[in-house]
Structure 1
Amino acid sequence: MGDYIGDSTRAEIRYARSLGKPVRFTHPAVDPDPVSLPLVPYKLVIPGFERAVTLPAIEPAPGLFVYELPLEHREGDSVANPWRLGHHSGKALAAFPSEDDALRAAREVANLADWTRPADDLRADADFDLERYFLRMEVRTNGLFILGTREGTR
């Protein structure tokens, strides 16, 4: 009920779609099928590199992007957690083991802020509940926080 879709229901949705059956949602924003979301170009800012890297991404909520970190930029925790939830500024917010995990996290935090705003504006906004953001990410997702220019664990 509401905006939660568990793994079993997610599998049923994919199975129904594989049979060509129509699937409708009372809350369309929770559609777990990333195939239904178009790929868009995303400029990823990687600390230590002069140029941003443009790669395909999914925008599950305005201003939030899900993408897979390119192989040549994976090291440490990035190897097991190559999927990212990123801000439209090109900065990564969190790392995940799967695309589904990253999409689920985007849906968890989508309503916490206007993610289309510049990153510096969000940081300076006294009304942005950073504690609530961290709590949702930590309790409801399977991700690792990316803090500043270095990756951090939750």
Structure 2
Amino acid sequence: MASPLRSLTSIRSTPGRAAPQSSRSQRPDLRVVPGRRRFAWFAMFLMVLVTGLLLGATYLHTRIAERQLEIDRLDAAMRTAQEEFDVLRAERAVLRSPTRLADEATALGMHAGEESEFVPIDPMLLAVTIAQTGRLPTADAIDPGSYARLEPLDQFRLVKNVSQEAP
């Protein structure tokens, strides 16, 4: 063990002679104290932190991969639906084509009209029918010539009442 420097000099100066008893009793007992373990705790904390970060990164990458798979699945479903829509739209265009409709009508025994007849419409009745908003007028509130003051929808309802059709 280590001894104080004074005692070494006194021991060297007088060989074969032991240190005085009084100086030994005043000297504290020396013992081995375990070293501080700050570095070990820091290293342990750092390892736990790095492990946590790596696990978090692994979880994050897993979630990103799952989301990407979901996005890919939805993209494939969207492409399939778009292709099906395009097929149905082309089929609809074929079904609505004028030549096909004419052929179907001929097959059913229909034929093209040879003359047209136009039905004359009173201009006031047309004006009343064109308008569209508001309240339902009562028959007492309507005076001849007062159609301009009516709301457009009221005029429409008036026409429907006159023609015996429900609005």
Q: TM-score range by the shorter chain?
A: under 0.3
Structure 1 or 2, whichever has the larger Rg, is 2
Q: Give the TM-score, by structure 1 length.
A: 0.18
Structure with bigger helix share is 2
Structure with bigger strand share is 1
Q: Give the TM-score, by structure 2 length.
A: 0.17
Q: Which gives a bigger RCO, structure 1 or 2 (Cα 8 Å, sep 6+)?
A: 1
